[in-house]
Amino acid sequence: MTDATEISELKNDNTKEEIYLKIEEDLIFAASNLPVDQTEVGRATKGAAQAYLARLYIYWEKWDSALEYCNKVIDSGKYDLNNSYYDNFSIDNTAESIFAVQYSLDGSDGDTNGNLNERLVWVKPYGTELDFFKPSQNLVNAFATDANGLPLSDGTITDITQQVDPRLDIVVGRPGIPFLDVGICDDAWSRTPGSYGYYIFKKRVPPFNSGQFNSSYPRATSLNYDIIRYAEVLLLKAEALIENNDLGGAMTLINEIRNRANNYHLKNEDGSADASNYLVGKYTSFASKSEAFNALMIERRLEFSHEGNRFFDLVRWGIVSEIMNNYYRSEQALRPYLSNAVFTQERNEYLPIPQTEIDISGGTLTQNY
């Protein structure tokens, strides 16, 4: 292509394989040329490119290549799991952060260097009542655990006495549970509970008095947004090991994530006891590849809740239509806004192309459904 190429002359027939090959080429170049460390924190590094390659190969189902690049990241010694799961959403640029969007509250006009996206989730104690991005009951239920602390697939969590994975109260604000430094989460904080329920987005919300939140408009936060964490590299490796029938190796990695989850229990307001009934246990064996893969899918959902991975995981696993339509069927009687919801296979897996781009392409682009 040259600068004189007309839009109508551009081809729009690349296959998925061709796109993967181009991404691979770019990332291999990046991994070969980027430094291990950057003088300016937040710029892409060799480790970031290698982690992205591991993710690419998982999507591409090239399991040996995925293992190779997971091991490059792991063996570099540059990264590690934080001791506490909560540290990922309260401290910037930790050992677990491989690549993150950097934010700051530096006095710029309108806090334009701050994270303005999270202001959409602020609730009453933070000076606004937008309360968007509400966690579902379905998500909360996923954190239920059995007597051994393992995921309870058919649990329904309705109060704080029920046994749960401690990550739940880092991800979700639940009525009756302390919400950072602004008191006990209250039903009144939910803007439209009749439609959307009482749960509140909590992950990546900083304590009000932490210095990471500006209470003046537009109410930005300085907390970074992690794009890829070391925990994901471990679970990518676990997934590749399962596909290669190394169930024991995969179990060790999944248990490493679950063991870390047990290191932080939210306390009640006076600090005298756990705020809820927390129990998370480790797997002792997997009887089959399907059992191991189910554990992997659950672990990714719990570990990366509200980090933007879930939908794309379901798509690449080929189960997004089944999962979404089952969810819609179970929720439609309770959530009026879902009354006509349906996931259409071979259409809703794809993001729509903006109509303006289609219009200016002169017929080269067509909508991807």
Confidence label for 112 from pLDDT (cuts 50, 70 and 90): confident
Mean pLDDT of the chain: 94
How many CB atoms lie under 10 A from the CB of residue 6?
Answer: 8
Confidence label for 3 from pLDDT (cuts 50, 70 and 90): low
At 131-149, the pLDDT tens digits run 999 999 999 999 999 999 9
Confidence label for 111 from pLDDT (cuts 50, 70 and 90): confident
At 49-78, the pLDDT tens digits run 999 999 999 999 999 999 999 999 999 999
pLDDT of 119 = 85
Cβ neighbors of 223 (< 8 A, separation 6 or more) are 89, 90, 92, 103, 115, 118, 204, 206, 212
Q: Pick the more confident residue, 232 or 334.
A: 232
At 236-280, the pLDDT tens digits run 999 999 999 999 999 999 999 999 999 999 999 999 999 999 999
Q: Are 79 and 230 in contact (CB under 8 A)?
A: yes
